[in-house]
Amino acid sequence: MNNREEAERKIAEKLAQLQQRYDKDHQDITVYLDGLYRAKYLSYWEYIKLETLLSLQSTQTEYPDEKIFVVFHQSTELYFNLILDEMNNIAGQTQISSTYLLKKLKRINRYIELVNSSFDIMINEMSNEEFMAFRSALFPSSGFQSIQYRKIEVSATDIENLIDPEVRANLAFDLSVEEAISNIYWKRGATEKATGMPSLTVRQFEAKYSSELLATAQACKDTNIWKKYEEISKAEGEVLELGEEMRRFDHNFNVQFALAHLKAAVKHLKNASSTGGTNWQKYLPPRFQKTIFFPELWSAEEVEAWGREFVYS
Ligand code: HEM
C-alpha cells in the first residue's frame, strides 16, 4: 500500500468511527462534517482564554505591587481548584483501590507543595513597605474567606476533626454535620476582641457561603478522603505507601502551608492588626491550631509536636 492509499484507509476508518458515534445519538453526520469544514483553527490565546484571564487582576489601589498580591492569591485559588477536582474524583469512586487513591494524593501533594514554596515570593520578594502601601485598602477581606480552602478541609476528613478537641469534649457524641459546622475551629478564630462577637470578615463569609459549605460537608460525610482510606484498608489491609502519602497530605496542608503562610504574616503584619480581625499570632500557628485531618495516622508524640517543623521526617 502506498502512502496515499494508506492515508485514504485511515480517513475511511475515522469516518466509519464517526458514523458509529453519531448514529448512536441519532445525529446526521454530514451536518457535523460541514461544521468541521466551517470551523476556524484553534489558537493558544482562545484556548486558554488569555485575554479574559489577564483582565481579572484589577487592584484596589494605584500601587503597582498590589498586583503581585492579587495574582498570588488567584494562582493559589487555581491550585485549590485542581485539588478539589481530584477530591471530587476520589469521592466519586464507588469501589476505590489503593493504586487510585495513591496516584490522586501524589498529584494533590505536588499542588500543595508548589503553593507552599511560592510563599517565598510574598516573604522575600516584597518588602514590608511595599505591602503596607496597599493593605489598608483591603479591609475586611482576608484569605480567611477562601471557600475553596474550607471545602478542601471538609472534603479531607470527618468534620469532628475540624473542631477544637476541648470544644469537642463538651459536645454530644453523635453530632449532625450542621451542629459540627457551627462549632468548626475557624468560627472561634475571627471574633472581635472588644465584644467577642463574630468579626465582619466571618459574617461576610457566612452570609455568602454558609449553605454551600454545609452542602459540601454533608456530601462528603461518607466520601471524604479518610472514609475512602478506611474503605481501602478494609478491602486491602494496610498499604504502607498510601498511609505515608496521607500523612504527607495532612502535613503539607495543615503544617507546611500554615507555616509558610505564618511567615508571610509575621513579615508583613509585625505589630499591625490583620485585615480579617483575628488575633492572628495566636490563631494561625499550627502548633496552637492543631488541625489534623488523620489523627489515627500519627503517633501520640507526633501529635504532641504538631506544628513544629521537625515532626515529619
Ligand atoms: C502577605 C501575604 C499574606 C498575609 C500577610 C496573610 C495574612 C493572614 C492573616 C492575618 C490571616 C488570619 C485571618 C485574619 O485575621 O485576616 C489569614 C488567614 C488566611 N489566609 Fe492569609 N495572608 C497572606 C496570604 C495568603 C494567601 C496567598 C492565601 C491563599 C489563598 C491565604 C489564605 C489564607 C487562609 C486560607 C486563611 C485562613 C487560615 C485558617 O483559618 O487557618 N493567605 N491570612
Q: Quick one: what percent of the chain has pLDDT higher than 70?
A: 98
Higher pLDDT: 165 or 259? It is 259
C-alpha cell, 35: 461544521
Please report the pLDDT score of residue 216 as a whole number.
98
Mean pLDDT of 34-52: 98
Residue nearest to atom 21 of ligand 1 (CA): 143
Mutate to test the pocket of ligand 1, among 82, 84, 144, 257 (most ligand atoms within 8 A of CB): 144
* Angle in degrees, 0-180, between the axes of helices 240-251 and 225-236, rounded to the nearest 10: 170
127-268-282 Cα angle (round to 5): 160
From the candidate CATH numbers 1.20.58, 1.10.10, 3.40.50, 1.20.1530, the one assigned to the domain spanning 63-311: 1.20.58
Say how many Å lie between the first and final Cα of the chain, rounded: 61
Nearest-angstrom CA–CA distance, 150 and 190 = 14
pLDDT at 277 over 90: no
Averaged pLDDT, 251-278: 91
Say if residue 310's pLDDT is above 90: no
Q: What's the gap between Cα 232 and its chain centre?
A: 23
Residues 201-236: pLDDT tens digits?
Answer: 999 999 999 999 999 999 999 999 999 999 999 999
Q: What's the pTM?
A: 0.94
Please compute the mean of the pLDDT values over residues 67-74 and round it to a whole number.
97
Task: Please report, for residues 52, 77, 118, 151, 163, the alpha-carbon distance to residue 159 in angstroms, rounded to integers and kept in the order given.
Answer: 37, 22, 29, 11, 7
- Ligand 1 neighbours, Cβ below 6 Å, are 72-73, 76-77, 122, 142-144, 146, 149, 186, 189, 261, 264-265, 268-269, 274-278, 280, 284, 289
- What atom in ligand 1 is closest to the CA of residue 267? 5
Whether residue 44 has pLDDT greater than 60: yes
| 3-state DSSP assignment of residue 192 | coil
* Residue 310 near residue 302 (C-beta atoms within 8 A): no
pLDDT category, 1, cuts 50, 70, 90?
confident
Residues of the chain with CATH 1.20.58: 63-311
**Which pLDDT value is given to residue 136?**
93
With the most atoms of ligand 1 within 8 angstroms of its CB, the residue from 261, 283, 284 to mutate is 261
- CA-nearest residue for atom 20, ligand 1, is 143
pLDDT, tens digit (0-9, with 9 covering 90-100), for 146-183: 999 999 999 999 999 999 988 999 998 899 999 999 99
Q: Give residue 275's pLDDT band: very low, low, confident or very high (50, 70, 90).
A: confident
Averaged pLDDT, 106-123: 97
Residue nearest to atom 1 of ligand 1 (CA): 264
- For residue 313, pLDDT beyond 50: no
C-alpha cell at 145: 474567606
